[in-house]
Structure 1
Amino acid sequence: MSLIEGLLQTSSTVTLLGAVLFLLVLYLRASGSSSEEQGKEPPGPRPLPLLGNMLQLDLKRPYLTLCELSKKYGSIFTVHFGPKKVVVLAGYKTVKQALVNQAEDFGDRDITPVFYDFNQGHGILFANGDSWKEMRRFALTNLRDFGMGNKGSEDKILEEIPYLIEVFEKHDGQAFDTTQPVIYAVSNIISAIVYGSRFEYTDPLFTGMADRANKSIRLLGTASIQMYNMFPWLGPWIKNLTSLKEIVVDMKMEVGKLVRGLKETLNPQMCRGFVDSFLVRKQTLEESGNMDSLYHDNNLVISVTNLFGAGTDTTGTTLRWGLLLMAKYTHIQDRVQDEINRVIGSRQPLVKDRKNLPYTDAVIHEIQRLANIAPMAIPHTTSRDVTFQGYFIKKGTSVIPLLTSVLQDDSEWESPQTFNPAHFLDEQGGFVRKDAFMAFSAGRRVCLGEGLARMELFLFFTSLLQHFSFSPPPGVTEDDLDLTPSVGFTLNPSPHQLCAVSRI
């Protein structure tokens, strides 16, 4: 090596070391001054420079680590995901105080790098400010118009149920994976509301969208994506990020194709679904000369992608947990079926039947509570400097409402770790609502489709239990059925098969 090459190499090393030292000084100054100047910050484990508390976190299941930390540091504490400071809220009372009582303070969305990459501040789930307010308002208004959470939704679900039952019947009592048929059935409900029509389960465009949405949820929960959110410069070396980018590109292309098809047949006097309404609003604003409106193609495509993904995964995942739990706890399944037989008989269950099926309703709620499919919710951020329970939280701080700590709060639930429908029943066997049931989160960012999801879960679950008894595959006992969730942005059951034995 020549003298010049050696000097260049030495110079690069010195530069790198200097940069690292500079970052360390900035970090130490920032972490040491704020509490003195602005007030006491929430306690937490001491972070390492740059790495934060990363070495203490289970990156595949961070909610478990955070629950353990809450036992030591209390219901509000600070943890560092790499260099990023995050405040964690644990327990029903603390989460409710933040999300409901101080909704404005904690109501903004923390948009992590991976979600910014794919949404760019557009759409409904990962947006803030005027764009988010307008898109959410428009979505709520129009989704209700097209049946979300009302009689229109019920009709769409009742139309879909026979198709799902037919798929289950084809297996003739043999073991099969429930994932795809359940996901396709649930996807078709949001598709009918968004696009104006359902799809056949054999339609490659539809199955491709549903399968990709399902796969993206799994990838978003992997440790490597958590690492990317902490250290975005690692992006080029993260294989799962590359896979996610490919999926998102394909999904946007598919949505774009469907939107173009609807645009070609658009009738402003007869909107078929959410997309039509958006296109009509966009066209009206453009004709009036408003070219800077929020009704543009990016907001349309990303809003539709948000609605399709969220409307498919959460309900489909919960329903799959429900069938697995019925196969594991057959005495509860028997009691649900007895109630359905007594109250409904062989006719199709309807939404109005819910009030007469208190045990079934309690079982569905307990499935949601124990499944705990969104244990950390989607992170929030403070919209201004906040003093909360005596602690100072700076504007723009990431906040995690630890929903798993709410759904398993031992001061709210008699046996939080077990599957116990009695959590939602009074002494006379009547259904009891619980404030600590925050399966849909709460406050300004409460799930947009809560009403639709509740209706889908009730109608799909009761219809399937009316037609089938669910059991483990041959050679597998009820005790062998594993309730450990698989890794993902939401918690899905681990891969499994069930037998659906016809009762009719």
Structure 2
Amino acid sequence: MALLLLGLLGLCGLLGLWSWLRAWARGPTPTPCWPPGPRPLPLIGNLHLLRVTQQDRSLMELAERYGPVFTVHLGLQKTVVLTGYEAVREALLGTGQQLAGRPPIPIFHLIQRGGGIFFASGPRWKAARQFTVRTLHGLGVGRGPVAGKVLQELRCLQDELDSYRGQPFPLALLGWAPSNVTFTLLFGQRFHYQDPVFLSLLGLIDEVMVLLGSPGLQLFNLYPGLGALLQLHRPVLSKIEQVRDILRTLLEAQRASGPGAGPAHGYVDALMRQAQRDDSQGLFAEDNAVACTLDMIMAGTETTSATLQWAILLMAQHQGVQGRVQEELDHVLGPGQQLRPEHQAALPYTNAVLHEVQRYITLLPHVPRCTVADTRLGGYLLPKGTPVIPLLTSVLLDKTQWKTPGQFNPDHFLDVHGRFVQPAAFLPFSAGRRVCVGERLARTELFLLFAGLLWRYRLLPPPGTSPATLHTEPARAFTMRPRAQALCAVLRP
């Protein structure tokens, strides 16, 4: 027995020596080096320093004290925040794949189950993203085919606005056109504005976005165990399941019609064709196909719709800017002409105004990333799996990059000769490996819809109100969308 014990001790000693020699040969393991930050309190971390409705502004205030790269504790989660153009640019463009991950966000993990495009990571995300970029290009995004669809939708939106005869219309109505462009790309056909499926989808998406920005869902993401106990996630999951039911019905209708000859006529058609090819890993099975379609609907409708609403709202507030845009449009577009994407190059002021809208509103201020390996940022070594917030608000309001960052000022995008210029700090679509897959589509939609509406209408506050009384504080939602209100669209001579 004693000999057996001595033998085991000797074996353990040899194994320990072998492990030490291997570690010595590899060199010392780098010790993580965390940026400075405020001292956390038990359980809540630094949440007491962050305003619920304007977390991005609270983080910018902390950056003034702790520097452009700092650590903040969001409850029990240790997170690194990057602020200012230089720090964010270095992280998004200088780290390659190392900052291409997404941290596990509890509510999106429940919704998408690791699939989709926006909040997924790993091989499924890479395959889905590559497929989406390739498919959108094949469907004509950034080229003539999609521009034609947008112009068709512009005419439908104008018919809807004409029916109000200059009387107040709800601002949210402007979101119908970009939403329908997204549906056309997904399903190969547009919906009539009174179609029950169209109205149901828009209503559900609106409710989901409001719920995702609610304090209850923020609490669920910070403390998922407590949130599950309090059932804080149930309302949004119920709405998401209703959206899924509609999507499954539409997918089934596409599947029943079978793949047609020639190129795919929509994103869903392309998904089903891909699933019928070599898909041994199940990357394009129905659950992931629904997840990808859900991401495309939620992101493609909300972001462009909200941006267009902001653009028209700001024109109603800044009548002088609106008048100057219309003067330029009248000069470039003669009677009987049809607006085309090529006109954008001849409309520098209109282009500058549209870009300034996107800079000024910061629609998605802080979507988190995650390090997929030990990563050095700003001189600090962050371990694999560290959540990182590249704060886009701080880039679009960086005092070192913009003359009057807190003001709506289209001159930010014009040189001394009145020509359009795009500063490097214009990053509303983010940058790097996670840049928005729908950027080219959004740019085409926003230009054609914005210019088309301003060429046809004079946008005014409701009767009895002044431009100064319009609400420009964002509503509480997942994006920084404008508050519900009404405007008037009066036909121009």
Task: Give CA deviations for 1:431-476 in whole Å, capped at 9, x if unaligned.
Answer: 0011100010011000001001000000000000011111111121
**Which ranges of structure 2 fall in alignment gaps of 5 or more residues?**
1-28
CA RMSD in angstroms comes to 1.4
Q: 1:58 maps to what in 2?
A: 51
Distance of 2:139 and 2:206 partners within structure 1? 25
Distance of 1:344 and 1:238 partners within structure 2? 58
Q: 1:318 maps to what in 2?
A: 307
**Which ranges of structure 1 fall in alignment gaps of 5 or more residues?**
1-35
> 1:469-480 counterparts in 2 under 5 A?
469-480=458-469
Contact 1:147 1:193 in 2 (8 A): no
Equivalent position to 1:95, from 88, 107, 118: 88
Q: 1:232 maps to what in 2?
A: 224
Distance of 1:368 and 1:121 partners within structure 2? 30
Give the match's secondary structure for 2:437. coil
Amino acid at match of 1:264: A
Contact 1:311 1:449 in 2 (8 A): yes
Contact 1:219 1:240 in 2 (8 A): no
Contact 2:154 2:177 in 1 (8 A): yes
Equivalent position to 1:255, from 228, 247, 251: 247
Evaluate the alpha carbon distance shift between residue 75 and residue 470 of structure 1 in structure 2; reply closer, same or farther with a 3 A threshold: same
Residues 1:502 and 2:484 aligned together: no
Residue 236 of structure 1 deviates from its aligned partner by: 4.0
> 1:35-74 counterparts in 2 under 5 A?
38-74=31-67
Amino acid at match of 1:73: Y
Residue 62 of structure 1 deviates from its aligned partner by: 1.2
Q: 1:372 maps to what in 2?
A: 362
Residue 39 of structure 1 deviates from its aligned partner by: 4.3
Q: Percent identity?
A: 38
Contact 1:403 1:439 in 2 (8 A): yes
Q: 1:16 maps to what in 2?
A: none
Distance of 2:80 and 2:345 partners within structure 1? 40
Evaluate the alpha carbon distance shift between residue 337 and residue 237 of structure 1 in structure 2; reply closer, same or farther with a 3 A threshold: farther
Residues 1:138 and 2:131 aligned together: yes
TM-score (ref. length: structure 2): 0.92
Give the match's secondary structure for 1:55. helix
Equivalent position to 1:444, from 426, 429, 433: 433
Amino acid at match of 2:195: D
Distance of 2:231 and 2:204 partners within structure 1? 16
Amino acid at match of 1:52: G
Distance of 2:30 and 2:267 partners within structure 1? 49
Task: Give CA deviations for 1:144-165 in whole Å, capped at 9, x if unaligned.
Answer: 1112221111011011111100
Q: 1:334 maps to what in 2?
A: 323
Residues 1:308 and 2:300 aligned together: no
Q: 1:6 maps to what in 2?
A: none
Distance of 1:431 and 1:61 partners within structure 2? 31
Q: 1:166 maps to what in 2?
A: 159
Q: 2:402 maps to what in 1?
A: 413
Q: 1:214 maps to what in 2?
A: 206
TM-score (ref. length: structure 1): 0.90
Residue 53 of structure 1 deviates from its aligned partner by: 0.9
Residue 217 of structure 1 deviates from its aligned partner by: 1.4
Q: 1:108 maps to what in 2?
A: 101
Evaluate the alpha carbon distance shift between residue 37 and residue 154 of structure 1 in structure 2; reply closer, same or farther with a 3 A threshold: closer
Residues 1:359 and 2:349 aligned together: yes
Task: Give CA deviations for 1:10-54 in whole Å, capped at 9, x if unaligned.
Answer: xxxxxxxxxxxxxxxxxxxxxxxxxx9814311111001221111
Give the match's secondary structure for 2:45. coil
Distance of 2:193 and 2:387 partners within structure 1? 40
Evaluate the alpha carbon distance shift between residue 240 and residue 496 of structure 1 in structure 2; reply closer, same or farther with a 3 A threshold: farther
Distance of 1:467 and 1:53 partners within structure 2? 50
Equivalent position to 1:348, from 316, 338, 342: 338
Contact 2:219 2:227 in 1 (8 A): no
Amino acid at match of 1:332: V
**Count of residue pairs the alignment pairs up:** 463
Task: Give CA deviations for 1:317-338 in whole Å, capped at 9, x if unaligned.
Answer: 0100001100110000000000
Task: Give CA deviations for 1:354-382 in whole Å, capped at 9, x if unaligned.
Answer: 00000000000000000111111x21001
Residue 240 of structure 1 deviates from its aligned partner by: 5.5
Distance of 1:237 and 1:175 partners within structure 2? 45
Residue 345 of structure 1 deviates from its aligned partner by: 2.7
